[in-house]
Each structure stands twice: as structure tokens, then as C-alpha cells.
Amino acid sequence: MRILHTSDWHVGKVLKGRTRHEEHIRVLGQVVEIARAEQPDLVIIAGDLYDTAAPSPDAVRVVTRALSALRQTGATVIAIGGNHDNGQALDALRPWAEAAGITLRGSVRDRPDDLILTGTTAGGERWRLAALPFLSQRYAIRAVEMYELTAAEASQTYADHIARLIARLAEDFGEPGVVNLLTAHLTVVGASAGGGEREAHTVMGYAVPATVFPPGTHYVALGHLHRSQAVIGPCPVRYSGSPLAVDFGEEENISSVAIVDVSAEKAAKVRDVPVTSARTLRTVRGSLDQLATVNLPDAWLRVFVRETPRVGLREDVQELLPNALEVRIDPDMVPDRAGERMAQRAGRSPRQLFGDYLDSRGTAEEGVRELFDELYDEVSTHS
């Protein structure tokens, strides 16, 4: 059977105040075109369909149309909730999804069998998929309680909870002649973050070892980390990565979807198919004269400008580079004099300290120091 594995769409993403709505339409349109060309039996979206738990109507429209278009290629389509998604809201869409032939699993419910999905391809290959949406620390504890674990088991770590849930979902993975699959939205120890993930849900308290995945699993389709990568484990484990760079920390990532060919008797073979429809993200550095030579009209830019800080510098950069979404002074232009400044501050008045601050920032607008003096005198009089 053939699987198209994708994740971390983050539809509704706003980058430094700039909407990426049109980019998402193009990117997901290309994912659908890849599905039409590759003809997968199964499409797995491993979480973070949306960028926020309260997506706009436009974002919902983009996602539902993409899911429907993927289903129209003839593939079975299964999507799980990620940490950016509202799992209950996704579950509320299940009647619509089921009517459209799409399977949504937004959150863990009180019946583990609800997360076990089965099917048979047109070629007669039987498959079983354990679908585990993202679980926060709190809901991981609730989940193990629902599955009637002992008090001692319920007091263990997040990784322990996830391991027990997966073991419960994979109880029947030993059945011969069936392709055993698992999809989840989580962080695996040893995997590389893509750069734009929500940090609170990638720290070590949320990381699980690859040993939580049963050796008899033919393929584990993961979401959450935005960089496409294989993870060393007891079975084939892979992050598909995001189909577009979500933030500037991901500008070196190669956006793609994973195409997986696997059978009950043959090991999974995986290849990445690039997704190139989004604008590239680039970081550039230089003086104004150097930035004037930059020719990246189709990229979103983060600019580190090598000039002395002054009023109006940001506007000058954006006039040269209209696609500059973020403009900062290059750290090399701001020498670290923290120790020197701390020694000099002792015994200096607030007026002098404010004057030092203005000098350090290169700010010399008329009246700023005088206004500070007036405000300081007013505060001092009433204190």
C-alpha cells in the first residue's frame, strides 16, 4: 500500500503581522496535486492543521477544502489533532467529515477503540492505524485514568503515560497479514526541532523515547516537529515536517511530504516529495548600501542592519526591501558593555541614566531629554 504522510499545516499562520493565507492555498493545492500524481491509498495528516485553537472562517475553509480534495483523489484520509488545534472542535466536525469520507480524531475520548482505525486497500492490503492526537500533561493523566490504570501507573511521567496508551492501542499489532501503522503528534527524544514549534510543548517534559513505539509497527507517521527527518527506533519512525517554513527559524528546512510504500511482508520505503509553493524565508545582513543590492523579490525577509541605531532606520530598510517583515540592528553593532555600564551607574541620577540610554541608542531628537525632565519632576513632586 502507499501512504502520503503530511503534518503541521498551520493554516491561519500570521508571520510578523503578514497573513499567509494565499501561500497556504497554493501549498495545500500542491499537496493535493502530489496526491493525484502518487495515488496513495491512505493520506495521514499528523496534527496541527491550524495555527490557533480558534481558526478564522477563512482558515477553516482552506482546511476543509484541502481535506475534501485529498479524499477526491480516491485516498482514505485521516487527520489527528495537534497541540495548536482545538481537539474538541475537530471532533465536533466528525459528522461532516464522516459524510465526506474523511476521518478526524481531534482528542482522546473514553473509548480507546475509537482511536483504532482499520481498512483494506483496493489491492487487498489490510491495514490497522492507531491514531493518537496530541495530549497535554493534564489530559495524559486523565487518559490513563479512563483506561483504568492503577494509581501507581497514573503518577508516572508523561512519557510513561504515552507509552501505556500506545501499548493499549497497539495490542493487536501482532496479527499476521496486516500493515500496522501509528500516527501521533509528539516530540521524540533525539529528533531535531524545526525552529518554529511552540517551545512549551517541545521541552524535555513532553519528549518521549522512540522505544514507546512497538517493534511490530510497519510505519510511525509523526507530527509536531517541522523538519522532515527519520528517527532511530525499533521500527520506521518519521516526521514529515511542515509543507512550508512556518517561521524564520525554519528557513533552512526543505518543505515536503513523505510518500511511503509498505506491505505486511516488506519494510517501509520512504521518499520525500518537495513542496515548493510557499515563499521562501531568508535572513540578510548588511549596511544600507549592501542591503540595496539584495535581490530577493519573492522571499519574506528578516534583516539585520549594520548601521548605528537611529530614528527612521527601520523605514529606510523597508523602503529598500518591502518584503522585510522583521528589521533588527545587527548584534555586532551593539557592543556588550553591560559590566562597564553597571559600574558607571552607581551614584548617577535618573536624568543622567536616561541621557546615557539615549546616547547608547543613538537617539538625539529635540525635546526628548527636556520632556523626561518635566515628567521626572512631576513624579518626584507627587511621590
Q: How far apart are CA 5 and CA 221, in angstroms?
A: 7
SS3 69: helix
How many Cα atoms are found within 13 Å in the side-chain-facing hemisphere of 323? 16
What is the structure's pLDDT at 368? 72
Q: How far apart are CA 75 and CA 264, in angstroms?
A: 19
pLDDT in tens, the chain (383 residues): 999 999 999 999 999 889 999 999 999 999 999 999 999 999 999 999 999 999 999 999 999 999 999 999 999 999 999 999 999 999 999 999 999 999 999 998 778 889 999 999 999 999 999 999 998 866 655 555 545 555 555 557 888 889 989 999 999 998 899 999 999 999 998 888 765 555 444 455 678 999 999 999 999 999 999 999 999 999 999 999 999 999 998 988 899 999 999 999 999 999 999 999 999 999 999 999 999 999 999 999 999 999 888 889 999 999 999 999 999 988 877 655 544 555 555 667 777 787 777 766 555 555 677 777 777 777 766 65
Q: How far apart are CA 59 and CA 55, in angstroms?
A: 6
Q: Is 200 left (phi over 0), alpha (psi -120 to 50) or beta?
A: alpha
Only one residue has cell 518591502, namely 322
What is the structure's pLDDT at 191? 86
pLDDT digit string, tens, across residues 225-260: 999 999 999 999 999 999 999 999 898 889 999 999
Here the cell at position 72 is 477526491
Only one residue has cell 502520503, namely 4
Q: How far apart are CA 126 and CA 216, in angstroms?
A: 15
Here the cell at position 3 is 501512504
Listed in sequence order, the residues at least 6 apart from 176 whose beta carbon sits closer than 8 Å to its beta carbon are 264
How many Cα atoms are found within 13 Å in the side-chain-facing hemisphere of 258? 31
Q: How far apart are CA 133 and CA 278, in angstroms?
A: 27
H-assigned helices in the chain: 21-38, 57-72, 87-92, 94-99, 137-146, 151-154, 158-169, 288-291, 313-320, 338-345, 350-361, 368-382
Tell the burial category of 197 from Cβ atoms under 10 Å away from its Cβ (0-12, 13-18, 19+): buried
Cα separation values, 142 from 149, 281, 356, Å? 10, 40, 55
Cβ contact 262:128 at 8 Å:
no
- In one-letter notation, the amino acid at residue 26 is R
What is the structure's pLDDT at 348? 73
The DSSP bridge pattern shows strands 280-286 and 126-132 to be unpaired
Q: How far apart are CA 101 and CA 117, in angstroms?
A: 13
Neighbours of 295 (CB within 10 A): 5
Q: How far apart are CA 284 and CA 301, in angstroms?
A: 7
The DSSP bridge pattern shows strands 42-45 and 76-80 to be parallel
